[in-house]
Structure 1
Amino acid sequence: MEPVHTELFSHSVQHVLDLVGIFVFAISGALLAVRKNYDVFGMAVLAEVTALGGGLIRDLIIGAVPPAAFTDLGYFLTPLIATTVVFFLHPQVERINTTINVFDAAGLGLFCVAGTTKAYDYGLNLTASATLGLATAVGGGVLRDLLGNEVPSLLRWDRDLYAVPAIVGATVVVVLIKFQALTPATGVLAVLCAFALRLLAMRYHWRAPRAWHRRTTAAEELHL
């Protein structure tokens, strides 16, 4: 299988965008730690796991070792900076939660596309590459919720679509690869597809359907 070796942006621009995405993901992890009344060490752990967990899962599976999180000091330090911001300014950060969610949506789109491309570069087939693109985008959030003793957000019916936009973005990438149409320009369009879908889901509260003809009601579920 011929590697793609396609960069959406120049290395320096890609690196900056990665750090921005890592910072925003880390903010969400640190905020959950605050809500759970964790100490500063717990905040840092949740920030690091949320920001870097998805990329670590991908890199370990594809054999890209040591993972980027351990070879680039900026990747490791950025979540600690986010932890410091939340530690001192968490009330103010909570008030701009909508803005954070917009940046989070952008990070979701960027990471699902970059993760899919990197997995394919390392020789995985299209289906596996898309799966790891999804894991790159949402894996950190799943680990965050598990460490926070919560049901992962992407498994909850009462949360706006999160995994689906990442799946769409990753699917667009593998279709482009299949037809040899993946370029920096079309890659950006894949990012925008995932980003726009996530924004629409937040705006209109789109949620995935549940089992057909299910009998339990939301009120009953509260007592299960």
Structure 2
Amino acid sequence: MDPLELLVTNDFLRVLDMIGVAVMGVAAGALAARLKFDAVGFAIIGIVAGLGGGLVRDLILDYGTPAAFDGPWYLACALVGSLFAFVISAEGAWWRRLVTVLDIAAMALWAATGTAKSFGYGLEPLPAILLGVTSGVGGGVIRDVLVGRIPAIFGGGPLYATGALVTAIGTWVVVALGLPSPYVLIAVGLGALLAAVASWRRWKLPAHGDWQVTMSASQLKALVRRTRRSERERVAHETGAIPVVDATVDDLAADVGFLDGEAGEYAERAFLDHDGDDIEFPQYDATGSENDTDPDDDRPQEKGRAP
């Protein structure tokens, strides 16, 4: 299949493409109404939202005159959509759902036609898919930038860009396998279905903070200390001996049990049933070095020495 067949000979897809432009004009007009734009604002925001992705695509492809300006129909569809939103106030829930569904369908269709057009002009698969996604979501990005807000596809919104990517990949498969052009509608349906279900179920891609380790250095060190203490208690319980930590090679030697607040109680628990001579445990300072203490000293024993 010649990829350009989608745009040159398939009148059905071209009609759907223009309907998508009009729908995007309506959706952009609804945003302009919330922001209290005047008639000029409605017209500009409708044109940008409906035609922005295609303009970017055609400029990158060095297409010549962009398709949006190669005749009056695309501009007329964008203006009709924004005019409809300017004249008719439609704020009901059912209307918003209808516009959302049509908006998603238009996005998927643009992703398919943008990908096919990119293949037709000789682009490799990866650039063609990227340009197809740009065709699908580029108008919405430019619209959001114009009104001073973060583009919805950057996070927190429905999976529009993901749906466009699925459609673009599906279009590439159809072109690569040489299937008839109507099969592209399957790719359009898959991408639109994903975006619609994501909007309904409020699915979102993981944000940056969802993958971060939020423990501070002190919290991480405390976790290591608790883990090491638990391990020492397990070893003492199973073997009756306290693990030896070499301060010269272990940079966490200062965290051994003898430095803990319950060091004496720990030793008593570990050697409660010991039947031999009294056991003396070495004392360590904060650097892990052993303190020299006379075992025959009559002064009260320091905490950490077995009674």
Q: Which category describes the TM-score, using the shorter chain as reference length? A: 0.7 to 0.9
Q: Which residue identity does 2:63 align to in structure 1?
A: A
| 8 Å Cα contact 1:3-1:123 kept in structure 2 | no
Name 1:220's counterpart in structure 2.
none
| 8 Å Cα contact 2:29-2:83 kept in structure 1 | no
1:129-166 CA distances to partner (integer Å, 9 max, x unpaired)? 1011001000000000000101000012x212110000
User: Among residues 170, 173, 176, which one is paired with 1:172 in the alignment?
Assistant: 170
Higher relative contact order (CA 8 A, sep 6+): 1
Task: For residue 6 of structure 2, give the secondary structure of its aligned residue in structure 1.
Answer: coil
Name 2:126's counterpart in structure 1.
127
Name 2:229's counterpart in structure 1.
none
Write the distance in 2 (CA, Å) between the matches of 1:209 and 1:105: 21
Deviation (angstroms), 1:93: 6.9
5+ long unaligned stretches in structure 1: 216-224
| 1:183 corresponds to 2:196 | no
Name 2:241's counterpart in structure 1.
none
| 8 Å Cα contact 1:26-1:82 kept in structure 2 | yes
- The structure whose Rg is larger is 2
| 8 Å Cα contact 1:8-1:184 kept in structure 2 | no
Name 1:48's counterpart in structure 2.
47
Write the distance in 1 (CA, Å) between the matches of 2:84 and 2:180: 37
Name 2:154's counterpart in structure 1.
155
| 8 Å Cα contact 1:3-1:122 kept in structure 2 | no
Q: Which residue identity does 1:177 align to in structure 2?
A: V
Deviation (angstroms), 1:92: 4.9
Task: For residue 89 of structure 2, give the secondary structure of its aligned residue in structure 1.
Answer: helix
| 1:91 corresponds to 2:83 | no
| 1:193 corresponds to 2:193 | no
Deviation (angstroms), 1:3: 5.5
Greater than 4 Å deviation, 4+ residue runs: 92-95
- After the TM superposition, which of the residue ranges 81-90 and 17-26 deviates more from structure 2? 81-90
Deviation (angstroms), 1:9: 9.3
TM-score by length of 1: 0.88
1:95-140 CA distances to partner (integer Å, 9 max, x unpaired)? 5010011111111111101100001101111111101100100000
Name 1:76's counterpart in structure 2.
75
User: Are residues 196 and 76 of structure 1, via their aligned partners in 2, closer, same or farther at CA, if it must alter by over 3 Å?
Assistant: same
- After the TM superposition, which of the residue ranges 83-92 and 22-31 deviates more from structure 2? 83-92
User: Are residues 70 and 11 of structure 1, via their aligned partners in 2, closer, same or farther at CA, if it must alter by over 3 Å?
Assistant: same
| 1:209 corresponds to 2:206 | yes
Higher helix share: 1
| 8 Å Cα contact 1:119-1:129 kept in structure 2 | yes
CA RMSD, aligned part only?
Answer: 2.1
Report the identity percentage. Answer: 31
Task: For residue 104 of structure 1, give the secondary structure of its aligned residue in structure 2.
Answer: helix
Task: For residue 5 of structure 2, give the secondary structure of its aligned residue in structure 1.
Answer: coil
**Aligned residue pair count:** 213
Name 1:35's counterpart in structure 2.
34
Q: Which residue identity does 1:160 align to in structure 2?
A: P
User: Are residues 36 and 94 of structure 1, via their aligned partners in 2, closer, same or farther at CA, if it must alter by over 3 Å?
Assistant: farther
Write the distance in 2 (CA, Å) between the matches of 1:120 and 1:32: 34
1:5-30 CA distances to partner (integer Å, 9 max, x unpaired)? 33289533222111110011111111
Task: For residue 96 of structure 1, give the secondary structure of its aligned residue in structure 2.
Answer: helix
Write the distance in 2 (CA, Å) between the matches of 1:160 and 1:116: 21
User: Are residues 74 and 153 of structure 1, via their aligned partners in 2, closer, same or farther at CA, if it must alter by over 3 Å?
Assistant: same
Write the distance in 1 (CA, Å) between the matches of 2:11 and 2:198: 31
